[in-house]
Amino acid sequence: GAKHVIIIGPKDLEAGTCVIKRLADGEQVEAALDAVVEGLERLG
């Protein structure tokens, strides 16, 4: 199953950001769209 989900809403898209959520515990980080890989690495 999936370990993470990436959420990109209309405002996120305008700002060039997204939210990366770890499904195991619900922890979230905000990341620039061009830094998604780095954000995933931060969540482990």
Q: Between residues 10 and 41, which one has the greater pLDDT? A: 10
At 37 the pLDDT is 79
pLDDT in tens, 4-32: 999 999 999 999 999 999 999 999 999 99
d(CA 42, CA 39): 5
Confidence class of residue 43 from pLDDT cuts 50, 70 and 90?
confident
Domain spans, the chain: 1-30
d(CA 41, CA 24): 15
At 41 the pLDDT is 85
